[in-house]
Amino acid sequence: MSTTTTTPRHGLADYVAKFQSCSADDKLAVLWRIYTHIGEERLENPDNNKESDSSLKLYNKLKEKSQDEQLQFMRDVISRQNNDITSEYYQLSDTTKIATWYRLGQGMADSSVVQVPSDYEMSDEAKDIVNNIGAISFEQCYVFVRDALLDS
């Protein structure tokens, strides 16, 4: 008799730690794969929170940049680099940071911001994270994404 696994092989904190040890590009690929796995229809719309204007303002500013600049912003944020545009991100509340990534995920899905290349080859560690996080409930998946982004 087979049962469905509702928790990853290791605890979520272990996967957040593994995520933190990945390269910036692997982190972005993991987030993208998880975002597409959980599906935008299941994510809370950031417009439902009172701070959405800040995430929308930053997102619109990013959409106007070149794809190289968009990618560099994501790499810099995920690697905790501080510059003019990332400092604006770091000043946001945690809820608004999550809303910003929600918008980036939507933008990747509709090609209004740079996407992870379809031929990007993730490391074995990143693949392990995606495979295990993809097998858990939506709520646990959201907690992983939240913790991974806010610990970045």
Name residues whose C-beta falls within 8 Å of residue 116's C-beta, 6 or more positions apart in sequence.
Answer: 28, 29, 32, 108
How many Å apart are CA 123 and CA 130, to the nearest integer?
A: 11
List, for the chain, all residue ranges whose pLDDT scores fall below the cut of 50.
1-5, 40-41, 46
Tokens of residue 20, six digits: 């933190």
pLDDT of 35 reads 81
Q: Supply the pLDDT for residue 95.
A: 86
Neighbour count for residue 41 (Cβ, 10 Å)? 6
Q: How far apart are CA 31 and CA 26, in angstroms?
A: 9
Structure tokens of 122? 């993730």
